[in-house]
Amino acid sequence: MLDHTHDPKLKSWVASANGHPDFPIQNLPLGVFAPEGGEPRGGVAIGDRILDLPAALAIGLFEGKAREAAQAASGATLNAFLSLGAGMRQSLRSRLSELLAQDSPEQDRLKACLHAAAECTLRLPARIGDYTDFYVGIHHATNVGKQFRPDNPLLPNYKYVPIGYHGRASSIRPSGVPVRRPRGQAKPAEATVPDFGPSQRLDYELELGVWIGPGNGLGEPIRIDEASGRVGGYCLLNDWSARDIQAWEYQPLGPFLAKNFASTISAWIVTPEALAPFRIAQPGRPEGDPAPLPYLMDEADQREGALDLELEVLLLTPGLQAKGLPPHRLALSNARHMYWTVAQMITHHTSNGCNLQPGDLLGTGTISGPDQESCGSILEATLGGKNPVVLASGEERHFLEDGDEVILRARGRREGYVPIGFGECRSTILPTV
Ligand code: CA
């Protein structure tokens, strides 16, 4: 999957792309943006600019498969583009790389198709039909399990089943849209009856989002050896969680109102092709763990089905802002801490015949690392609110407070390749109305 588009020597005539932490020419993520006063349309992030795909199509810069793919990626949602699959995506990527490369003969014509990203609004890149959230971050599952069951943190199904539940697609918003603190029913441990009011234990969850590309028909499971081909791209996902509401409502059917009030995603679809240099073998299972059942086992998937991506959570509070201090890093984790691969998630999801559709979104579940500096939720970082996070401003946080902004970032790095990022996934907590 590695080709000339990954060449580390490749530079762009869009000067801000060279050395850009997220969007060098080796990335080329797709999204939907609206220029000031304009209609939403498909675009490609390059440095601090956005290439307007319909504008570039209109001046005849694409042919053949690349043209078809660019057309599918030009509208106000990219579901048509997601349905295409790897071959079409590669054609478009290859042509975009040519057009945006330093020596491109088309640069004068293309300049008119660029917008300053700072002057555009990013939209959700697709109409999300369904959203499913998994629980494959084994350190998170263990940390949270310990708070409830110190001796037996992981339930016996965890190492056989990629655990998940159906989430809510309607409340997913792109980075930058604030989140309103939810009200809900909760019962403090010492109380005999629940009360109803603003959540007191609001939390973030650091997750990777997976965009489904070509889906499957109802009743037609996706085999493990074809599952990675059904991924259309990746994003960051903050699965906001109200822990007090969750603790009271989750038995016996799992999360409901504690999770469905909001989820925030980074707005760019980072393609599987862009992430090819950062693929790694699925880390071996600890001694004594069962092997995956045969329907979830594929050698190629075990060899290259995991991703080496740094994942970061930052917190910017009103106190830090008032003092001109930078955001506080709450966690540095890595996508390699997933017990199941993305292909295993997809195969398991469809193993009963359930159909996935282009533009469906999967969450991996919170991806914590093995130590206290890599906790993907504040529930873990503060041990259930017991040990507050202390900030340079003098503020403390047991859980999130109104005015707090949570920022997620992801970065792929590998010797011999240009690092790429996802763009930010950020949102500020607004008070309950
Ligand atoms: Ca979650």
Verify that 282 and 136 share a domain, yes or no: yes
Among the residue ranges 90-94, 148-152, 221-225, 357-361, the one predicted with the least confidence is: 148-152
Q: What is the pLDDT of residue 73?
A: 98
pLDDT at 115: 98
Q: How many domains does the chain have?
A: 2
- Write out pLDDT tens, residues 62-96: 999 999 999 999 999 999 999 999 999 999 999 99
Region 45-58 average pLDDT: 98
152 pLDDT higher than 90: no
Q: For residues 142 and 76, state if they share a domain.
A: no
Cβ-proximal residues to 200 (8 Å cutoff; 6+ apart), any chain: 186, 244, 399
214 with 108, same domain? no
Q: What is the pLDDT of residue 258?
A: 98
Say yes or no: 117 and 155 in one domain: no
Residue where a domain stops, chosen among 67, 97, 123: 123
Q: In terms of pLDDT, which residue wins out, 147 or 344?
A: 344
Task: Return the percentage of the chain with pLDDT > 70, whole number.
Answer: 100
- Predicted local distance difference test score (pLDDT) of residue 99: 98
- pLDDT at 149 exceeding the cut of 90: no
pLDDT in tens, 305-348: 999 999 999 999 999 999 999 999 999 999 999 999 999 999 99
For 346-403, write each residue's pLDDT tens digit: 999 999 999 999 999 999 999 999 999 999 999 999 999 999 999 999 999 999 999 9
- Range in 18-22, 146-150, 279-283, 361-365 with the lowest mean pLDDT: 146-150
Mean pLDDT across 89-112: 97
Provide the pairing of β-strand 202-203 with 164-166: unpaired
Are 71 and 106 in the same domain? Answer: yes
pLDDT exceeds cutoff 90 at 175: yes
Largest separation between any pair of C-alpha atoms in the chain: 73
Nearest to 47, CA basis, from 268, 277, 335, 337: 268
pLDDT > 90? residue 148: no
Distance between CA atoms of residues 86 and 228, nearest Å: 10
Same domain for 59 and 192, yes or no, is no
What is the pLDDT of the chain when averaged over all its residues?
97
Q: Are residues 119 and 148 in the same domain?
A: no
Q: Looking at the structure, do residues 225 and 253 belong to the same domain, yes or no?
A: yes
Q: What is the mean pLDDT of residues 112-123?
A: 98
Task: Kindly indicate the confidence band of residue 214, based on its pLDDT and cuts at 50, 70 and 90.
Answer: very high
- 42 CA → ligand 1 middle, Å: 28
The per-residue pLDDT for 218 is 98
Full-model pTM: 0.98
Centre of ligand 1 from the C-alpha of residue 297, in Å: 24
Nearest of 34, 50, 31 to residue 42 by alpha carbon: 31
Between the CA of 22 and the centroid of ligand 1 the distance, in Å, is 25
User: Is residue 140 annotated as part of the catalytic site, yes or no?
Assistant: yes
Same domain (yes/no): 114, 136: no
What is residue 42's predicted lDDT score, i.e. its pLDDT? 98
> φ, ψ for residue 48 (rounded to 5)?
-95, 20
- Mean pLDDT throughout 264-278? 98
Same domain? 254 vs 332: yes
pLDDT at 137 (0 to 100): 96
- Tell me: do 55 and 163 sit in the same domain: no
Of 94, 123, 152, the position where a domain reaches its end is 123
Query: How remote is the CA of residue 245 from the centroid of ligand 1, in Å?
Result: 14
- CA 263 / ligand 1 centre spacing (Å): 9
Distance 15 CA to ligand 1 centre (A): 38
Range of the domain at 50: 4-123
- Residue 55's CATH number: 2.30.30.230
Question: What token pair was written down for 310?
Answer: 């740094």
- Shared domain for 116 and 135, answered yes or no, is no
CA of 290 to the centre of ligand 1 (A): 24
Q: What is the dihedral of CA 37, 120, 209, 15, to 10 degrees?
A: 150
Structure confidence at residue 62 (pLDDT): 98
> Residue 150's pLDDT is what?
87
Residue 365's CATH number: 3.90.850.10
Selecting among 115, 140, 328, 337, the annotated active-site residue is 140
Domain boundary (103, 123, 143) is at 123
- Mean pLDDT for 190-214 is 97
Query: Phi-psi bin for 88: left (phi > 0), alpha (psi -120 to 50), beta?
Result: alpha
